[in-house]
């Protein structure tokens, strides 16, 4: 499993909250416009995500092998973190950690 490029998984409820808060802010202030980025607080590789999920759900992961080479089939940036400074300065949104978000998202299916 890929253990090279960093991802910053974002909880969908955090994205929904940002959309709602931006819409509410815009209704009261027409100067609120532009492109805004939301990125999760945890930057991790796919391998690290798999290890975290195995830990959260008490699953064995000894069979999963880390591939520490860059992807060759579909080239990816090394770090895909987005700049969330603007939203943070506006006090908009929240950042759910990966472990909390994945536990909540999958809990009902276990």
pLDDT in tens, 39-88: 999 999 999 999 999 999 999 999 999 999 998 888 888 999 999 999 99
Per-domain residue ranges of the chain? 12-109
**Phi, psi at 75, each rounded to 5°:** -65, 135
CATH topology (fold) of 12-109: Rossmann fold (3.40.50)
**The two structure tokens encoding residue 23:** 């819409």
Looking at the chain, the whole-number percentage of residues with pLDDT higher than 70 is: 100
């Amino acid at each position: 499993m890929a253990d090279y490029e960093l991802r910053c998984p974002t909880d969908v409820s955090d994205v929904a909250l940002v959309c709602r808060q931006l819409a509410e802010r815009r209704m009261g202030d027409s100067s609120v416009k532009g492109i805004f980025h939301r990125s999760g607080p945890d930057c991790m590789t796919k391998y690290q995500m798999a290890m975290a999920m195995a830990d959260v759900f008490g699953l064995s992961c000894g069979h999963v092998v880390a591939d520490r080479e860059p992807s060759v089939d579909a080239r990816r940036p090394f770090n895909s973190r987005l700049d969330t400074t603007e939203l943070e300065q506006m006090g908009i949104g929240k950042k759910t950690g990966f472990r909390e978000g994945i536990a909540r998202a999958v809990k009902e299916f276990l």
